[in-house]
Structure 1
Amino acid sequence: MEPSEVVVQLWSRIQARDWVGVGELLADDFVLEWPHDLVRIRGRADFVDFNRSYPEGWSIEVLRIVAEGSTVVSEVRVPHPTVGPYYALSFFEVDEGRITFTREYWVVEAYEEPAAERARWFEPM
């Protein structure tokens, strides 16, 4: 499976809550990093357990996937009725059909008025 297809399958299986299938796409020594929170998850089992335990109500909307060699980048939107929606920008490393490393940046979708000194350049989306 091409690296980009591995990531397509990952998001599809997460959306389906196919936790066994998610685990099949991850290396045993998989690492996830969230630099914005200064935390990481080590190991396939902990990643799967974390996602399985997350409060229900969310869905995955894949907005974009870009690949170059073994590196794949995805942008997803994750609507949730009480804590979202969020956007995730994820950088994956794929080796022999398994994801070995992911670095993700999560942001909440929320409008804030720009600071007065910047307001003239911005408009709401």
Structure 2
Amino acid sequence: MESTEVVRQYWSSVWSRDWHAVGLTLAEDVEVFWPVTREIIRGRENMVAVNREHPNGWSIDVLNVYDAGDVVVSEVQVPQEDVGIFRVVSFWTVAGGVITSGREYWTRYGGEEGRDWRLKYASVGDLAP
């Protein structure tokens, strides 16, 4: 399976809450870093558990998956009831048909105001993914 398909399968399995299938996309010793919160998730069991234990009320929309050579980049939107919409940019390393490591940037979509000094250069809006 191509690396981009492994990443697409990962997100599809998370969305369908098929925890066994999620585990099949991850190396046993996978390591995923979330720089925004400085959390490091080590091991397949922990990565599956983080996804499984997340409070319900969310869905996943895969916006883009890019083959960047040694890395696969995915951009995902995660609407969650009573919280808002998260955007996630992930950098995945895939080897041997499984995800071996990742770095994910989770942020709330529109959750931060632009800086005043940029108002004359930028507008606020949405672009199609």
Normalising to structure 2: TM-score of the pair? Answer: 0.91
Letter aligned with residue 90 of structure 2: S
Cα deviation code 1:22-41 (max 9, x no counterpart) = 00110000001011111100
Say whether residues 1:56 and 2:64 are aligned partners.
no
1:124 Cα deviation after fit? 1.4
Distance 1:108 1:78 in 2: 9
Q: Residue in 1 aligned with 2:10? A: 10
Residues 92-103 of structure 1 aligned to structure 2 (within 5 Å): 92-103=92-103
- What are the equivalent positions in structure 2 for 1:65-104 lying under 5 Å apart? 65-104=65-104
2:120 is paired with a residue whose SS is: helix
Q: How many residues align?
A: 125
| Alignment match, 2:28 | 28
Query: Aligned partners of 1:28, 1:112: CA distance in 2, in Å?
Result: 36
Q: CA deviation at 1:104?
A: 0.3
- Matched residues in 1 for 2:59 and 2:3: separation? 23
TM-score (norm 1): 0.94
DSSP-derived class of the 1:73 partner: strand
Measure the CA separation in 1 of the matches of 2:60 and 2:87.
10
Cα distance 1:87–1:113, how it changes in 2: closer, same or farther (>3 A)?
closer
Provide the C-alpha distance between the structure 2 equivalents of 1:10 and 1:112, rounded to a whole number of angstroms: 29
8 Å CA contact 1:70, 1:95 repeated in 2:
no
* Residue in structure 2 matched with residue 109 of structure 1 by the alignment: 109
SS in 2 for 1:79: strand
For 2:79 and 2:98, the matched residues in 1 are separated by 27
Contact 1:58 1:81 in 2 (8 A): yes
Tell me the CA shift for residue 12 of structure 1. 0.5
Q: Distance in 2 between matches of 1:111 and 1:98?
A: 33
Listed as ranges, the gaps of 5+ residues in structure 1 are none
Equivalent AA in structure 2 for residue 15 of structure 1? W
Q: Which runs of 5+ in 2 are unaligned?
A: none
- Using the aligned pairs only, state the percent identity: 44
